[in-house]
Amino acid sequence: MTNILISLSDGDKRLIFALLLIVIIVLVFIGLLGYLLMRIMKFQAKKIDTLVHDAVVTKVVNDKRHFIRYGRNKNWAYFFKQAYIPMIIIIVGFIVLFIHNAIYNNWGYNPFSTYDGFGTLFFTWKLSGEYTDGTIIKFAKLVVDNTPHFDAIAWCGYIFGPCILVGGTWYLVAASSLLARTILLYKRSKTVFEKSLDGYHQDEALTNKDNTNTNN
């Protein structure tokens, strides 16, 4: 292993460093995305209290089973209210893709392609080649495969890509919020109608009752 590291050229070492840096950035991005999603779920979970509060306070629901059924109906209704716009965006994207494929008779079209799709707007890289020389590993060079550019032929990708990314992310947030509210709903169902004897002593209760009657 030491011999391999020593035999690496400066270019190979820079390539390894760049790859490690990319991996670290991706892991940090995934961690931040997960943290953001958890914060959104925690915030959205509180919405279930708003949805069922009046029904509980006014005793429209007065037992655990009714509470869960009522809360579930309210929760799904709120989810559909949140999700119908991103679903429309996603459907529009697929309609555009269908129209494009029908016009050009190209049903294998990749809307994220770097040649004629959404990918033309982004940098992409590729390895120039990869080979071994005996026991010494030679690392391929990382070269730019595509530079951001606009191409009219990629019009479908420019519509489909944002529709899927925006609509998909929006729908993911709505779906995770639904899950968060469902979890909190079941937690609430165990405490809202709970009858507990913690700290209750019958003798003390009777004594307090007698004292109240004597004072009256």
- Give per-residue pLDDT as tens, 17-62: 777 888 888 888 888 877 777 777 777 778 888 888 888 888 888 8
Looking at the predicted structure, is the pLDDT value of residue 94 above 70? yes
CA angle 126, 127, 131 (to 5 degrees): 160
Q: How confident is the model at residue 11 (pLDDT cuts 50, 70, 90)?
A: low
Domain ranges of the chain: 2-193
Confidence (pTM): 0.70
Contact between 15 and 139 under an 8 Å Cβ cutoff? The reply is yes
Distance of CA 66 to the CA centre of its chain: 31
